[in-house]
């Protein structure tokens, strides 16, 4: 497993610790979950953009299908 060191203010560190405590997890687990979520969001957005680009050339065909009775 790798480690990522992120400098934050004391106030932020305390707030993160409080959030982790309220969720019943360690700060490390909370931050790991946040990182995983961020990566998933990024990959989903990237996939969305790829699919949008792929479909951009099929607009006329799709509109024609919608116009059929």
Q: What is the dihedral of CA 29, 33, 35, 40, to 10 degrees?
A: 160
**Which residues constitute the domain of residue 58?**
11-67
Domain tally for the chain? 1
Is 40 inside any structural domain? Answer: yes
Is 6 inside any structural domain? Answer: no
Q: CA-based Rg of the chain, rounded to a whole angstrom?
A: 21
DSSP label at 24?
T
Percentages of the chain per state (helix, strand, coil), in multiples of 5: 75, 0, 25
Span 8-56, pLDDT tens digits: 999 999 999 999 999 999 999 999 999 999 999 999 999 999 999 888 8
pTM tops 0.75: no
């Amino acid at each position: 497993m790798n480690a990522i060191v992120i400098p934050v203010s004391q106030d932020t560190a305390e707030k993160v610790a409080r959030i982790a405590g309220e969720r019943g997890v360690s700060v490390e687990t909370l931050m790991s979950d946040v990182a995983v979520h961020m990566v998933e969001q990024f990959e989903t957005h990237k996939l969305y953009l790829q699919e949008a680009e792929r479909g951009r050339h099929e607009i006329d065909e799709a509109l024609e299908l919608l116009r059929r009775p």
